[in-house]
Structure 1
């Protein structure tokens, strides 16, 4: 039996938190830009930190499992 929670959560978070795809923090002209498809180094670092924190939350703290 394989535990599919980790790869599914990691893939979803990676897609959702890609800078510029859905939102970008910090934006060019304001704190949050939506759907601008542009990025900066600061935005990439902030999204990386958020990705890591959410991944730790779901996989370590909440200990979510999905068996298929």
Structure 2
């Protein structure tokens, strides 16, 4: 019986994509959204953490994504 790799893969990909300042930052220092500024703030970390939790919950629990190794 193999390990379910779905939640692990989804968590790693979302962590990389939703890192504040890497691709986008919401809210930014000057505007509502900035792209690739490589800066961050406390409120931006909070917003990105909430997005991470919501998307992770939808993909893993509601949809039930599973990746099983042979």
**How would you bin the TM-score normalised by the shorter chain?**
over 0.9
Report what 2:3 is aligned to: 2
Does 2:53 match 1:52?
A: yes
Q: If you compute each CA radius of gyration, which structure gives the higher value, 1 or 2? A: 2
Structure 2 portions without partners, runs of 5+: none
Give the match for residue 38 of structure 2: 37
Q: Which residue of 1 aligns with 2:24?
A: 23
TM-score, normalised with respect to structure 2: 0.94
> How far 1:29 sits from its partner (Å)?
1.2
Partner Cα distance (2:57, 2:23) in 1? 22
Shift in Å, 1:56 = 0.2
Which 4+ residue blocks in structure 1 deviate beyond 3 angstroms?
none
How many aligned positions are there? 68
Secondary structure at 1:65 match in 2? coil
Q: Which runs of 5+ in 1 are unaligned?
A: none
Offset, 1:2: 1.4
Tell me, in whole angstroms, the C-alpha distance in 1 between the residues paired with 2:61 and 2:4: 14
